[in-house]
Amino acid sequence: MPDQPLDPEPEVTAPRTSRRRASLLIGVLCLLLGFALAVQVRTTSADSGLGSARQEDLVRILDDLSAREDRLRQDIAGQEEIRDRLATGGNQADTALAEARLRQQQLAILAGTVVAQGPGIELTVSDPGDGVGPEVLLDAIQELRAAGAEAIQIGDVRIGVSTAVTGNPGSLVIDGTSLSAPYRIVVIGDPPTLETALNIPGGVVNTVSRAGGQTRIEQREQVTVSALRVLEPPEYAQPAPEND
């Protein structure tokens, strides 16, 4: 019986299969490499803000964070002290009434319904080129709140939770009141912490400067926030029932 020719297909299929596997492996490696590069770029971009900051700027940021931590610890200690007095006081009714009155005064200051005074800063924002827009003052309010500001007044307007800053550069409107530069901002809080928050890299001072304005910050042992807010009753929110 004559010899049958060998089928060449297995010899061809094996190299093709190997090449497909190699191509698939190379593709997977390229995807992984691309993902790693993307993560590295995003990480580098996120860290570039602080990585390029000067040493004195980093020190100010660290001091700001430490001050915020101290305030939170003081708040916790104060609440624990109130709890202990209520639990061990001989006349719990009188202690609770005194604490309620103190709490009412504190809430009135935070709500802006009473005149407040204490240590703080006076921030003056000049805008000779009419380049400071509403977003700049809004950023200033947010930065000051984050730094522990307990009362803020811009011009004749007391800043509250629902404060809105609108208008155009050179003609700003805060809660319906028109203001013109220079904007005088009075803030009650820890003066060094407030000033540090405004001077962080990319913060309010830098933003005002980029807009063509100028800032002057003065620390004061005592400032007065005299503007008042009128509280409007909530339209939708109601107290939730207490749990038994």
Is residue 19 in some structural domain?
no
Is residue 103 in some structural domain?
yes
Name the amino acid, one letter, at 202.
G
Residues 91-141 have pLDDT tens digits of 666 666 666 777 777 777 878 888 999 999 999 999 999 999 999 999 999
Question: Residues 123, 107: one domain?
Answer: no
Question: Residues 133, 156: one domain?
Answer: yes
CA-wise closest residue to 217 among 196, 243, 235: 196
Is residue 58 in some structural domain?
no
Residues 19-72 have pLDDT tens digits of 555 555 555 555 555 555 454 444 444 444 555 666 666 666 666 667 767 776
How much is the pLDDT for 43? 45
Q: How far apart, in Å, are the Cα atoms of 172 and each of 34, 89, 92, 112, 166?
A: 47, 52, 50, 21, 6
Specify the CATH number for the domain of residue 206: 3.30.70.1880
Is residue 21 in some structural domain?
no
Is residue 244 in some structural domain?
no
Residues 135-186 have pLDDT tens digits of 999 999 999 998 999 999 999 999 988 899 999 998 899 999 999 999 999 9
Burial 181-193 (b: 16+ CB within 10 A, else e): bbbebbbbbbbbb
Beta bridge partners of 178: 173
Residue 116 dihedral angles phi and psi, to the nearest 5°: -125, 150
Is residue 33 in some structural domain?
no
Q: Are 197 and 234 in contact (CB under 8 A)?
A: no
Question: Residues 89, 176: one domain?
Answer: no
Q: What is the sign of the dihedral through the CA atoms of 161, 167, 171 and 177? A: negative
Q: CA-to-CA distance for 223 and 240, rounded, in angstroms?
A: 37
SS3 for 201? coil
Give all strands of the β-sheet with 157-158 in edge-to-edge order: 157-158, 151-154, 183-188, 116-126, 214-225
Is residue 7 in some structural domain?
no
On the 0-12 / 13-18 / 19+ scale of CB atoms within 10 A, 52 is exposed
Range(s) of the domain holding residue 207: 116-225
